Copies of this chain bind each other. A is one copy, B any other.
Protein backbone atom coordinates (compact mmCIF):
# COMPACT_ATOMS: atom_id res chain seq x y z
CA UNK A 1 0.00 0.00 0.00
CA UNK A 2 1.41 3.30 -1.01
CA UNK A 3 2.58 5.59 1.67
CA UNK A 4 1.55 3.53 4.65
CA UNK A 5 3.50 4.60 7.65
CA UNK A 6 5.60 2.01 9.34
CA UNK A 7 4.60 1.12 12.86
CA UNK A 8 8.10 1.75 14.11
CA UNK A 9 8.65 4.65 16.46
CA UNK A 10 8.46 7.87 14.55
CA UNK A 11 9.45 11.36 15.56
CA UNK A 12 6.04 12.64 14.49
CA UNK A 13 3.38 10.95 16.57
CA UNK A 14 0.34 12.06 14.63
CA UNK A 15 -0.98 10.63 11.44
CA UNK A 16 -2.36 12.66 8.61
CA UNK A 17 -3.94 12.37 5.24
CA UNK A 18 -4.61 14.46 2.22
CA UNK A 19 -8.25 14.87 1.43
CA UNK A 20 -8.98 16.01 -2.07
CA UNK A 21 -11.23 18.98 -2.69
CA UNK A 22 -14.22 16.86 -3.60
CA UNK A 23 -14.33 14.87 -0.39
CA UNK A 24 -13.72 17.83 1.82
CA UNK A 25 -17.28 18.81 2.62
CA UNK A 26 -18.03 15.28 3.77
CA UNK A 27 -15.07 15.26 6.09
CA UNK A 28 -16.18 18.57 7.43
CA UNK A 29 -19.72 17.58 8.20
CA UNK A 30 -18.70 15.47 11.17
CA UNK A 31 -16.59 18.12 12.77
CA UNK A 32 -17.31 20.69 15.49
CA UNK A 33 -15.61 23.55 17.16
CA UNK A 34 -14.56 25.31 14.06
CA UNK A 35 -11.93 27.98 14.22
CA UNK A 36 -12.80 30.93 12.07
CA UNK A 37 -10.49 31.70 9.15
CA UNK A 38 -10.09 35.08 7.54
CA UNK A 39 -12.11 36.39 4.65
CA UNK A 40 -13.78 33.81 2.50
CA UNK A 41 -11.57 30.87 3.46
CA UNK A 42 -13.43 27.91 4.90
CA UNK A 43 -12.83 27.43 8.59
CA UNK A 44 -10.39 24.99 10.10
CA UNK A 45 -11.81 22.46 12.46
CA UNK A 46 -10.56 22.47 16.01
CA UNK A 47 -9.31 18.99 15.38
CA UNK A 48 -7.15 20.17 12.52
CA UNK A 49 -5.81 23.01 14.60
CA UNK A 50 -4.92 20.60 17.38
CA UNK A 51 -3.08 18.33 14.98
CA UNK A 52 -1.19 21.26 13.56
CA UNK A 53 -0.13 22.39 17.01
CA UNK A 54 0.84 18.86 17.91
CA UNK A 55 3.00 18.67 14.79
CA UNK A 56 4.72 21.91 15.76
CA UNK A 57 5.39 20.48 19.22
CA UNK A 58 6.84 17.29 17.82
CA UNK A 59 9.25 18.92 15.40
CA UNK A 60 10.41 21.21 18.20
CA UNK A 61 12.34 18.19 19.48
CA UNK A 62 14.73 18.60 16.59
CA UNK A 63 15.52 22.23 17.35
CA UNK A 64 19.20 23.02 17.03
CA UNK A 65 19.46 25.77 19.60
CA UNK A 66 22.66 25.28 21.53
CA UNK A 67 23.22 29.02 21.88
CA UNK A 68 19.85 30.18 23.14
CA UNK A 69 18.51 26.87 24.49
CA UNK A 70 15.16 28.14 23.24
CA UNK A 71 13.38 25.48 21.23
CA UNK A 72 10.74 26.40 18.67
CA UNK A 73 8.72 24.28 16.27
CA UNK A 74 6.33 25.25 13.49
CA UNK A 75 3.93 23.27 11.34
CA UNK A 76 2.41 24.59 8.16
CA UNK A 77 -0.92 23.76 6.56
CA UNK A 78 -0.82 24.16 2.79
CA UNK A 79 -3.86 25.13 0.80
CA UNK A 80 -4.04 21.74 -0.91
CA UNK A 81 -6.23 20.75 2.01
CA UNK A 82 -3.75 18.70 3.83
CA UNK A 83 -5.77 17.51 6.82
CA UNK A 84 -4.38 15.89 9.94
CA UNK A 85 -6.38 13.05 11.43
CA UNK A 86 -5.85 11.86 14.94
CA UNK A 87 -4.91 8.23 15.30
CA UNK A 88 -7.30 7.75 18.18
CA UNK A 89 -10.22 8.58 15.96
CA UNK A 90 -9.52 5.86 13.47
CA UNK A 91 -9.86 2.56 15.34
CA UNK A 92 -10.85 0.70 12.19
CA UNK A 93 -7.45 1.33 10.74
CA UNK A 94 -4.95 -0.79 12.64
CA UNK A 95 -2.05 0.89 10.91
CA UNK A 96 -2.43 4.61 10.40
CA UNK A 97 -2.60 5.51 6.77
CA UNK A 98 -1.31 8.31 4.64
CA UNK A 99 -3.20 8.94 1.46
CA UNK A 100 -0.87 10.70 -0.84
CA UNK A 101 -1.59 13.44 -3.29
CA UNK A 102 -0.66 12.91 -6.90
CA UNK A 103 2.28 15.18 -6.35
CA UNK A 104 3.59 12.90 -3.68
CA UNK A 105 4.15 15.43 -0.90
CA UNK A 106 2.97 13.45 2.05
CA UNK A 107 4.61 15.08 4.99
CA UNK A 108 3.33 18.19 6.63
CA UNK A 109 5.92 20.89 6.38
CA UNK A 110 7.20 21.14 9.92
CA UNK A 111 10.35 22.96 10.90
CA UNK A 112 12.44 23.88 13.90
CA UNK A 113 14.85 26.69 14.62
CA UNK A 114 18.45 26.14 13.52
CA UNK A 115 20.96 28.41 15.19
CA UNK A 116 24.49 29.39 14.28
CA UNK A 117 27.62 30.41 16.16
CA UNK A 118 27.23 33.66 14.26
CA UNK A 119 23.81 34.18 15.75
CA UNK A 120 22.37 36.34 13.01
CA UNK A 121 22.76 33.53 10.50
CA UNK A 122 20.33 31.23 12.30
CA UNK A 123 16.89 30.46 10.90
CA UNK A 124 13.62 30.49 12.82
CA UNK A 125 11.24 27.54 12.94
CA UNK A 126 8.52 29.35 11.01
CA UNK A 127 10.83 30.17 8.13
CA UNK A 128 12.17 26.63 8.14
CA UNK A 129 8.65 25.26 7.74
CA UNK A 130 7.92 27.65 4.89
CA UNK A 131 11.10 27.03 2.90
CA UNK A 132 10.49 23.30 3.23
CA UNK A 133 7.04 23.72 1.75
CA UNK A 134 8.23 26.01 -1.05
CA UNK A 135 11.00 23.56 -1.92
CA UNK A 136 8.32 20.92 -2.24
CA UNK A 137 6.31 23.06 -4.64
CA UNK A 138 3.83 24.75 -2.31
CA UNK A 139 3.24 28.48 -2.24
CA UNK A 140 -0.25 28.79 -0.84
CA UNK A 141 -0.77 28.35 2.86
CA UNK A 142 -3.76 28.23 5.17
CA UNK A 143 -2.24 28.24 8.60
CA UNK A 144 0.89 27.80 10.62
CA UNK A 145 1.16 26.67 14.23
CA UNK A 146 4.08 27.65 16.42
CA UNK A 147 5.24 25.94 19.62
CA UNK A 148 7.84 26.71 22.26
CA UNK A 149 8.61 25.61 25.82
CA UNK A 150 7.26 28.78 27.45
CA UNK A 151 4.62 27.61 29.89
CA UNK A 152 2.85 30.88 30.46
CA UNK A 153 3.22 32.65 27.16
CA UNK A 154 1.92 32.09 23.65
CA UNK A 155 4.96 31.93 21.38
CA UNK A 156 4.78 34.77 18.90
CA UNK A 157 6.63 34.93 15.58
CA UNK A 158 9.38 37.51 15.27
CA UNK A 159 9.02 40.36 12.81
CA UNK A 160 11.27 38.66 10.29
CA UNK A 161 9.02 35.61 10.22
CA UNK A 162 5.92 37.77 9.93
CA UNK A 163 7.41 39.38 6.84
CA UNK A 164 8.39 35.98 5.49
CA UNK A 165 4.82 34.74 5.95
CA UNK A 166 3.41 37.87 4.37
CA UNK A 167 5.29 37.13 1.16
CA UNK A 168 2.79 34.33 0.66
CA UNK A 169 -0.34 36.27 1.50
CA UNK A 170 -1.91 38.36 4.22
CA UNK A 171 -5.03 36.33 4.85
CA UNK A 172 -3.87 33.19 6.53
CA UNK A 173 -3.59 32.34 10.17
CA UNK A 174 -0.93 31.95 12.81
CA UNK A 175 -1.70 29.76 15.82
CA UNK A 176 0.59 30.80 18.65
CA UNK A 177 0.53 28.03 21.24
CA UNK A 178 1.60 27.04 24.73
CA UNK A 179 2.91 23.60 25.65
CA UNK A 180 -0.53 22.68 27.02
CA UNK A 181 -2.01 23.08 23.56
CA UNK A 182 -3.88 26.29 24.21
CA UNK A 183 -3.44 28.88 21.51
CA UNK A 184 -4.03 32.42 20.33
CA UNK A 185 -4.89 33.00 16.68
CA UNK A 186 -4.01 36.05 14.61
CA UNK A 187 -3.88 36.51 10.87
CA UNK A 188 -0.69 37.52 9.12
CA UNK A 189 -2.24 40.89 8.32
CA UNK A 190 -3.05 41.42 11.99
CA UNK A 191 0.51 40.56 12.97
CA UNK A 192 2.03 42.88 10.39
CA UNK A 193 -0.25 45.88 9.88
CA UNK A 194 0.51 48.38 7.11
CA UNK A 195 3.05 45.99 5.74
CA UNK A 196 5.60 46.29 3.00
CA UNK A 197 5.33 43.79 0.16
CA UNK A 198 6.19 42.90 -3.41
CA UNK A 199 3.76 45.42 -4.85
CA UNK A 200 5.63 48.28 -3.22
CA UNK A 201 8.74 47.44 -5.19
CA UNK A 202 6.99 48.18 -8.46
CA UNK A 203 5.21 51.39 -7.54
CA UNK A 204 5.74 54.67 -9.31
CA UNK A 205 8.85 56.38 -8.08
CA UNK A 206 10.69 59.61 -7.99
CA UNK A 207 13.28 58.75 -10.61
CA UNK A 208 15.59 61.72 -10.51
CA UNK A 209 18.39 59.93 -8.72
CA UNK A 210 21.65 59.13 -10.40
CA UNK A 211 23.93 56.55 -8.93
CA UNK A 212 22.96 53.69 -6.70
Contacts and interface: CB of A to CB of B under 8 A. Distances in A.
Contact of A120 (B4, B104, B119, B156): B119
Interface stretch (A31-39, A42-50, A78-86, A110-118): A110-118
Interface string A115-142: 1111111111001111110111101000
A198 B115 CA distance: 10
Interface of A: 1-6, 8-11, 59, 61-71, 100, 102-104, 107, 110-112, 114-124, 127-132, 134-137, 139, 148-164, 166-167, 176, 179, 184, 186, 190-198, 200-201, 203-207, 209, 212
B191 A191 contact: no
Given A150-B205, A196-B157, A201-B70, A137 B6 contact: no
How many copies of this chain does one complex carry? 4
Contact of A110 (B117, B135, B148, B157): B135
A119 B11 contact: no
A102 to B, nearest CB: 5
A135 to B, nearest CB: 5
Contacts of A205: 148-151
Contacts of A70: 201
A94 B161 CA distance: 44
Contact of A132 (B8, B132, B137, B139): B132
A137 B186 CA distance: 30
